[in-house]
Amino acid sequence: MRAHAVIFAALGDTTRLALVAKLCSRQPRSISQLSERSKLTRQAITKHLRVLESAGIVHSVHKGRETRFEFDLEPMAEAREYLDFVSQQWDEALARLKAFIED
C-alpha cells in the first residue's frame, strides 16, 4: 500500500501531472524538451522528474551527455488496479447502506 501512496503523492502536483502527460507519448524526452513552453527552470523540472522517478512512474536513460526520461506504465496500472479495488469496496459499502435504510 505504501507504493500506491508514493505514486499518488507524486501525482498530486500539477507540474508533475503535466510532465507525465508529456511523457505518455512513450517517446523518451530530454529535460530541455520537457521544459519547452514552461515557466519553470530546467532545474525545477529536473527536481519534479526525480520525484516521479523515485515513485517509479518514470525512469531516466543516459545517452551520451544527455539524460532522457521515459514513462513507466506498470506502476500506473498497479495504481489503477488499487483504485478499482477501493471503488469496489465503496460500491459494496453503499449497497449495504442502501439495503439497511430500505429495510
**pLDDT tens-digit readout, 59-91:** 999 888 899 999 998 888 888 898 899 999 999
pLDDT for res 17: 93
Q: d(Cα 57, Cα 49) in Å, to the nearest integer?
A: 9
pTM score, two decimals?
0.79
Pick the CATH number of 2-102 from 3.40.50.2300, 1.10.10.60, 3.30.70.20, 1.10.10.10: 1.10.10.10
- The answer, yes or no, to whether residue 27 has pLDDT greater than 90, is no
pLDDT for res 2: 67
Sequence spans of domains, the chain:
2-102
pLDDT for res 77: 86
pLDDT for res 80: 87
